[in-house]
Amino acid sequence: MRILFVTSEAFPLIKTGGLADVSGSLPAALRALNADVRILIPGYPAVLKNLVNLEPLCSIENLPVVGRAELRIGNMPDTGVPVIAIDCPTLYERDSGPYINSLGFDWEDNPIRFGVLSKVAATLSATGSPVKDWMPDIVHCNDWQSGLTPAYMKLSHPTTAKSVLSIHNLAFQGCYDASMVERLSLPRSSFQVNGLEYYGQLSFLKGGVFYADALTTVSPTYAEEIQTAEYGFGMQGLLDLRGHEIKGILNGIDTNEWNPETDPHLAKNYSDTSISGKKAVKAALQKQFGLQIDANAPLLGVVSRLTYQKGLDLFVETIPSLITKGAQIAVLGSGEAELENSFKALAAQYPSQVAVTIGYNEPLSHQIMSGVDMFIMPSRFEPCGLNQLYGLRYGTPSVVTQTGGLADSITDTNTLTLADGTATGFKMTEVTTHALSVAISLGLAYYQDAKTWRKIQRNAMNIDISWKHSAQSYLDLYTTVLAN
């Protein structure tokens, strides 16, 4: 089976969040199951620089606004997965992130940048594709950035290939002025409720949701949640109509990249049978962060975008009382100024107990996931969430809300789950400061009981969170879609 995996970011080339982790690891897992996968990604400078064996593939014509672009093909540096990069300097040769400029604002031409990504994907799947010897059977799109691909495939690029759209986060919908419909060479007739129109605007994500042959979300619970007004961000009506077709497949993780036994970022490596190295990682983290080096002080960690979604404002409110209990806090993240400032103020107030690094730092994220005793993730919604999965792998139990992938991947600790060996973390009963305090306090109580804590860690580390099962679920889905 040939699969074109269309994405706007992929680790280790370029990453802003979980989509990159999935795009870096799922295609490799599909390849291990004998699927013939190619990734399609914009040729940002970091992509063109880091791909190996990069060579010209073909030119592609009739693109909106820019007319023409060159396609290059290379391989992922670590997994060898083939990657097609769209080399179009006018659109992608920029400093700063893939979506925002150095001042933190969206690039104004994002609809063109990702409209072109979508159009190239559709062109490569259609009769008349400039790549004659490799036609995909499945075009797997991800989030709004490639959301127009299924629309192009249905409206202007006839193909026998089928499209699958994975929703990694419904909060980002790619909504733009209606004039973009014509600028992106989409038929004007498609701008209607049964098409691309979304409350008077063009929505890339809605285009995908409406036209894709199959829809997935990154966890089973999120597939249910997005059909409700609370989590549907206005799209629940359409999602509800297609509800029976939405398949929730829980993300796996790259178990080579995230492996406590071999992780080069850790002061000491360790395993589920010999976990003492975790103490050394904690001590190194305390030292690096300027916290008091104390093996017995419970250390709580955060690695996150600092946004409303992540519920970390609730954590900020609990920190003063945690300090009185002798806890320490290590935070890595960036995002909303108010949240950044709240964490910075707490670090200034309690320098030996609270440490904050504002920014993006891959090695430090590994050190925190491994070195802290508990990971804090009180998300208001969480399509899948990856850090709680990394926590499982590193023997770091998480405190989570009962939503999306957090609900699907963490089992609350209580007498029953301790007895049957499934306890892996702590679940808040609701999304409030009080519920977070209660869940953390419960975690701290278990933490004082070393034997039970060790049991929870072992339960977590023994769960298979590799892509093996989920990649097979995607292959099964592709097979079903092709059969239909």
Residues of this chain that bind ligand ADP (CB under 6 A): 17-18, 21, 169, 303-305, 332-334, 360-362, 365, 384-387
CB 368 to ligand ADP: min, Å = 9
| Beta carbon nearer to ligand ADP, 190 or 365 | 365
Task: Give the helix/strand (H/E) hosting 393.
Answer: helix 387-393
- Measured between its terminal Cα atoms, the distance across the chain in Å is 15
For the CA atoms of 58, 62, 65, 67, what is the dihedral angle to 10 degrees? 50
CB 131 to ligand ADP: min, Å = 31
- Torsion-angle region of residue 203: left (phi > 0), alpha (psi -120 to 50) or beta? beta
Closest CA relative to residue 371, chosen from 255, 293, 451: 293
Q: Which amino acid is at 63?
A: L
CB 387 to ligand ADP: min, Å = 5
Distance CA 396, CA 345 (A): 26
| Beta carbon nearer to ligand ADP, 135 or 358 | 358
Distance CA 313, CA 435 (A): 13
| Beta carbon nearer to ligand ADP, 161 or 339 | 339
| Beta carbon nearer to ligand ADP, 332 or 477 | 332
CB 334 to ligand ADP: min, Å = 6
CB 169 to ligand ADP: min, Å = 6
CB 15 to ligand ADP: min, Å = 7
| Beta carbon nearer to ligand ADP, 134 or 172 | 172
Beta strands in 307-452 (DSSP E): 328-335, 354-358, 374-377, 398-400, 425-427
| Beta carbon nearer to ligand ADP, 88 or 392 | 392
Q: Which residue is nearest to ligand ADP (CB)?
A: 18
CB 388 to ligand ADP: min, Å = 8
| Beta carbon nearer to ligand ADP, 261 or 362 | 362
Q: Please say whether the beta carbons of 427 and 410 come within 8 A.
A: yes
Distance CA 123, CA 115 (A): 12
**Is the bond preceding 378 in cis, omega lying within 30 degrees of 0?**
no
CB 426 to ligand ADP: min, Å = 17
Distance CA 313, CA 335 (A): 12
Q: Please say whether the beta carbons of 405 and 218 come within 8 A.
A: yes
Closest CA relative to residue 216, chosen from 22, 21, 428, 375: 22
CB 326 to ligand ADP: min, Å = 26
CB 376 to ligand ADP: min, Å = 13
* DSSP assignment string, 314-344: HHHHHHHHHHHTT-EEEEEEEE-HHHHHHHH
Beta strands in 106-183 (DSSP E): 138-142, 162-167, 175-176
Query: What is the DSSP secondary structure assignment for residue 244, as one 8-state letter?
Result: G
